[in-house]
Structures are given as structure tokens and as C-alpha cells.
Structure 1
């Protein structure tokens, strides 16, 4: 909560300094956190390619997104900011000073006063990669939350179910353009960061990458790790809690190393990634991937390993409508949902056979290819909308 408040204290002064240097109207993207920022990146890259002189601003709601994004250069982004709290005066001042030419909100993080301020300034405002569920407030009653949607010039949805929900409340300025995360993971897989030490450590072994795992995942994974010493195991916990990692390590029968500590590449079977920012590229070394979070508050990004044509296993998803990619990956044959340690062993052994593995890997490649191009579709439609207006 401290960073949430303190990070916003000097917000307007920093924005004014940016605008003094760059008085032109920027394109503004607002995201909740890092996951939504990943969805915005393909659109940002596409817009920058079309408008190389345009300035792009990204605002974050949460410190977990703003803090890491603001600490290093962001390709094609000229300014990173917090979003002010959604109070009329603060929102009006932010939009007035920013003075954007276009505004994009990503997935779901919609704020009434900011959107109203944009409308008052006649700024074309869009929601991209939208994913709706019937139980959301927009669809329960015709009130405050639904009014927010009708302030938007156009909504680009990930799927037909979201489009149908909008049609059910009479919102017509919408179209299906897909999930921009497919574009993002493809971009990442085309030019991933390399880790020579990890490549040397893996050598001629097959590696299994366990990404964004929680306690509920590791309870099921540790027996699997202990029974398969023929693999290299790379573990990226969701929370970099050293005590928790060491607790898991004590339950393992295999040799364990930690990436930030000396001597980790002295032939351990298990490597903990006890640092941030590596996982999305480390999936390139995976033969099989497991992605965590399904048993808890939310499944993490299963499309990252799919980008490298890697079959992915995950825990039984509690909020299936919130993570439609889980069901789709199973239908396509590249994703595998498990509930127990026994389920996990069965699926893992199945994927250890060459025929099953190659079939799943080809399915991942085909599913990725089928869904590329969402960012281009969005930018094409935005251009058409602007031409008509």
C-alpha cells in the first residue's frame, strides 16, 4: 500500500516535465499491471511501426506493474506513469495535461472519471483484448458500470462469447480481433534472451520448466521431480521467497541449485530461478512446461511456452471463464489439465513418448499460427474508425 500511495505523490510533476519536452499529443495506453502490459505491447509495437514519430505513454494502476516497468527502458514507450486515483479532479487534470490523441484501455481496467475526462476532450477511446464474463457488473444491471462501456468508441474482444455479452446489452460498436498475447509470445519466441550457462547446464538432457508455481502446484510437482532424475528441472516460483524455495528443496531427492548463487551449474538436477525477468525466455529450453496458479487465484500465462511450441501442463482452473485459453489449449491438444499428483504423472509419462509429444508440439505450433495478427487487426480497425469520424 505504501508504494501505491507514495508512487503517485509526484505523478503530475513528472508528467508535466515529460510534456514540456514533448508537447505533441501522445497515444495513451492504460493497463492494470504487467499481464495487461504484455497484451498491450504488440499494439504499441504496431502503432510505433505505423507512426514512428508518435509518443507513447503507458500508465499502470498497480505497483507490481509500475515498479519493474519504470526501472528500465521500455521499447517503443516514451513515458511510464501511475494512473491517478479515479477522482474527478485528479482524472480531469491528468487527461488535460497528458492531452492524448488516442486512448487505449486493456482487457478490463476501466475507470469512469478518466474515461469521462477523455470524452469531454473528444479523445477516441478504445478497449482492447476485452474478455467479459456474464457475472460481471456490466451485465447484471443497467447502471454505473454499464454506463462506462457505452462511453467507449469501440471494444475489441478476444472471443465471440464477449461479443455476444455486449450485444445482449445493446452495445454495437464491437468486434472480435483475438488475444494479442499470441502476437506477444510469438515476438518473444522469435528473439528470446539467451542464457549460455543454462544451455551448458542442460547439455544433452531434456529440461522441464515449471513457471510461476505456488505451494499448491509444488505439492503435486515434487513427487514427479523426485521420480525423474533423467530430466533437468527449472523452477520459477511466483513469489521469490527464499525460505519457501529452501523448504521445497529439502523435500527433493535430487541435487538443487539457485541461479543467483555461485556454483549452481555444478551439475544439480534442479535449478531455482531466484530472480525476476527470465521466465518468458527460459521456456525456450523446455521440452515440457508446467504453468502454475490454476489451483489458486488465477492461471498464469500458458501461452508463453506455447510460443516455443512446448506442450503445457497446468492445475485444474477454478475460474474457467476467466481463463478461456485453458480449455482451448486442451481442445487443440497442446494443453493438459491435472488435479492430482497421479494425474500429473500420467500426463507427464504420456508426453514422454515421442508420438504423443510431437503431436502436442505440432498442435501448439498450429494454435499459435491460427491466432496471430490481433494487433494488426486492431490497428487496421482503429484507422478505419478514425477515418470515418
Structure 2
């Protein structure tokens, strides 16, 4: 199995290299790993995140570790360019790298160079050689905000190698009881239900949101429908709401902001109804006259939700929905597409009647009209969703208290 894993890693690398000739993200993935010069540290704390979403998820723990260990270097690695490119200069770390390809040589070199006293991986990403190298060196490895499902490879008859990876983890901090039961069934019992650190992150953000003067001017006392992390399939549906709800304003923060994607979105909207965020400086005196704003930069979305009344979370017609909790923390009922099976919080919100899954334009209009026209229904959904976030905070404290206790005891 290890031979197959190693061959698979090399084939994956070859595929990315071939793709890099015509794909920007693949090119960044290759270039970033090729030009990475590691800094040697006498001691560090290593955080790994798959991408930007996992960075934000694990950020509360990262911030606490940074604050309580000011003399220890913090090293961050990302697997994806979308995380590295946005956070490569974060003040929360002394060094930020792409995770090297998972080979025995790379794992040995990387760990010998940064010398981690402990490693923290957020939610998922299991790499055999990195895990094994940490285990052999008796360096504690923690997985935080983990969540496990029956269909994952760990629980299949052919998942022996992946089960070995789990055996390298010192402690799992998982989101739910089902994860404990699944891990227990394969002999993994070093598990604590801590909850999801994303709740801490979004709740803190909602208590002290960064104000955005331009959005306040654009809002001009109107209700705003915020479409966050949307894809073309989402935007096609939402554009029909723009045309029918003329008393509302709309903000689109697309998942991809290439010029081609932005132009495609604008083509769906009523003529001259939209302004890009990058155009605000030249149109500020007339900003309130626009009905639609298109966010053509990265990093604003979490603060935008404070100005909204209803949120649509994109991705549900593709691989899966994006972050519903950022909007939920501000009390916005959330709407999303049908593909949300991997997201516990989405199931919870649907059950609470504070999150709503739609399948087409008709069902989107039905729930949107209900939220707009039935004030009691809206108020109950808004109260439920905000309380849900508040009640699920606390994962960061559980994790930090445990790690600090173990490190002091050692």
C-alpha cells in the first residue's frame, strides 16, 4: 500500500506539472514549491492548513499559540495557492511555506529544518511521510476541528495505510460525537469532542466587525442581499432576484474574481445597475444610486455580512457549499444549493429552519419571498441562527487548555 501511495504522489505531482502550462493555480503550486528556501529554527510550532478556509478555521488556535508563546517561531504551511497567496505575509507567523510534496526525503528535510516542538493540522489533510516523521521523532501532532464520515478511506477495507496515519496523531479534537464513534470502531480512542473552532472565529469577528464606509453609503438605508463565495450557477439564479426585488440591494462576492468571471456576472444583471468595488473611488458621490455591488477583491466578505439581511452561500451546485457561519454570526438566514451533505452546520441550520437549501430558481424565489414578506418567520430564523453560533463557541479554549497542560507536564 505504501508503494501505491508513493507512486500516487508522484503521479499527482506530474499531473499538476502538466496542468501548470495552462492553469494559473497549478503554476503557482509548482513555482511556490520550487522556489521555497527554508529557514532553520532551533524550535518552532508548525501549523498546516489545506487552504484559506482552513486557515480561518484554525486561526483562533493560531492566535492563542502566537500570544502565549512569543519566543517560539511559528511556521505555517499551505497545500493550496489560494491559502498561500492570501496569507503568505501574515503577522501570525515567522515563516509561511507551501507544504513540500509528501516524500520521505522532503518530510525529513522539512522537519529537521524547522524543528517543531508540536504540529497542528486543521480539519483534514493526512500526509503519510510527514505524519510518520513526526511520530518517529516523538513530536506531538494534533488534528483540530476534525470531522469524520463513514465513506472516508479510513473506514474502508482498503484503508490500512490511512489508518496508520491516524495512529501517528497524538490527539484528535473533533467536531461531533459521530467522529468519536467512527474512530473508536477502528481502535482510535485519543479523541476529544471540542467542537469547531470556526464558531470562535466568526463569533469574535461579528462582535467587532470592521466598518466599511463605502458599503454604508451604498446601502443607504436599504436591505441588502449578500451573495457570498458564489459560482456561475449560483449567480445565474440570484440574478433573477435582482430583477424582481427592486427595493433591495445586492452584493456579490464571487469565489473567483477573474476579469472573465466578473464580466460574465455583470452580463446577467440589469444594465447600469452594478458597480465594482474597485470603481468606488471614481463614483463615490453617486454610490447610493447603484443597486448591485460586485466585490472584485479578496478578504472583505467576513465584514460585509454585517450590512446584510439575507445571505446566499455559494458552492452548493458544485463541490460543496462555502462558509455559512460567517453570515450566521451576524444573524443572517442563509440560503444555499443542494450539495451540503459534508457540512454538519448546514444540516443543523436546515433542521433549525434558519438555513434553507434550494434546488432551482423557483425554490430560491419561494424562500426569499418568505423571508422578505413574513417578518415573524424572518425574525425567528435570524434569532435561531445567531444563537446557534453563540452556543457552539468554546472549541479554542478546550484545545489550548489541553495542549498547554500536556506541554507543561512534559
Measure how far apart 1:6 and its partner are.
Answer: 1.7
Contact 2:46 2:119 in 1 (8 A): yes
Q: Does 1:263 align with 2:283?
A: yes
Gaps in structure 1 of 5+ consecutive residues: none
Residues 253-290 of structure 1: CA deviation (Å, up to 9, x unaligned): 36111111232726111111111111111111111111
Task: Quote the Cα distance in structure 1 between the aligned partners of 2:348 and 2:64.
Answer: 26
Q: What residue is the counterpart of 1:79 in the other structure?
A: 95
Q: What residue is the counterpart of 1:344 in the other structure?
A: 364
Measure how far apart 1:388 and its partner are.
Answer: 5.5
Task: Quote the Cα distance in structure 1 between the aligned partners of 2:262 and 2:52.
Answer: 23
Measure how far apart 1:232 and its partner are.
Answer: 1.0
Residues 358-379 of structure 1: CA deviation (Å, up to 9, x unaligned): 1111112210111011011111
Task: Quote the Cα distance in structure 1 between the aligned partners of 2:165 and 2:293.
Answer: 47
The counterpart of 1:331, out of the listed 351, 355, 380, is 351
Q: What residue is the counterpart of 1:93 in the other structure?
A: 109
Q: What residue is the counterpart of 1:129 in the other structure?
A: 145
Q: What residue is the counterpart of 1:238 in the other structure?
A: 255
Measure how far apart 1:78 and its partner are.
Answer: 2.1
Task: Quote the Cα distance in structure 1 between the aligned partners of 2:76 and 2:329.
Answer: 25
The change in CA–CA distance for 1:139 and 1:249 in structure 2 (over 3 A counts) is: same
Task: Quote the Cα distance in structure 2 between the aligned partners of 1:28 and 1:340.
Answer: 44
Q: Does 1:37 align with 2:55?
A: yes
Q: What residue is the counterpart of 2:385 in the other structure?
A: 364
Instruction: Using structure 1 for the length normalisation, give the TM-score.
Output: 0.93
2:302 match: secondary structure: helix
CA RMSD, Structure 1 to Structure 2 (Å): 1.7
Q: Does 1:206 align with 2:223?
A: yes
Deviating beyond 6 angstroms after TM superposition, the runs of 4 or more aligned structure 1 residues are none
Residues 123-163 of structure 1: CA deviation (Å, up to 9, x unaligned): 11111111111111111025111100011111111111111
1:263 match: secondary structure: helix
Instruction: Using structure 2 for the length normalisation, give the TM-score.
Output: 0.88
1:336 match: secondary structure: strand
1:273-284 to 2 correspondences below 5 Å: 273-284=295-306
2:221 match: secondary structure: coil
The counterpart of 1:177, out of the listed 194, 204, 212, is 194
Measure how far apart 1:58 and its partner are.
Answer: 0.9
Task: Quote the Cα distance in structure 2 between the aligned partners of 1:30 and 1:243.
Answer: 32
Contact 2:219 2:288 in 1 (8 A): no
Task: Quote the Cα distance in structure 1 between the aligned partners of 2:113 and 2:91.
Answer: 23
Task: Quote the Cα distance in structure 2 between the aligned partners of 1:250 and 1:294.
Answer: 22
Gaps in structure 2 of 5+ consecutive residues: 1-25
Contact 2:248 2:291 in 1 (8 A): yes
Q: What residue is the counterpart of 1:10 in the other structure?
A: 35
Contact 2:73 2:93 in 1 (8 A): yes
Q: Does 1:249 align with 2:249?
A: no
Deviates more, 1:86-95 or 1:118-127: 118-127
2:249 match: secondary structure: strand
Q: What residue is the counterpart of 2:136 in the other structure?
A: 120
1:95 match: secondary structure: helix
Measure how far apart 1:387 and its partner are.
Answer: 5.1
Contact 1:46 1:376 in 2 (8 A): no
Task: Quote the Cα distance in structure 2 between the aligned partners of 1:132 and 1:26.
Answer: 29
Q: Does 1:68 align with 2:86?
A: yes
The change in CA–CA distance for 1:237 and 1:34 in structure 2 (over 3 A counts) is: same
Task: Quote the Cα distance in structure 1 between the aligned partners of 2:104 and 2:38.
Answer: 20
Task: Quote the Cα distance in structure 1 between the aligned partners of 2:275 and 2:100.
Answer: 42
Task: Quote the Cα distance in structure 2 between the aligned partners of 1:274 and 1:136.
Answer: 36
Contact 2:236 2:268 in 1 (8 A): no
The counterpart of 1:138, out of the listed 129, 154, 161, is 154
Measure how far apart 1:227 and its partner are.
Answer: 0.2
Residues 176-204 of structure 1: CA deviation (Å, up to 9, x unaligned): 11111111111222232221011011111
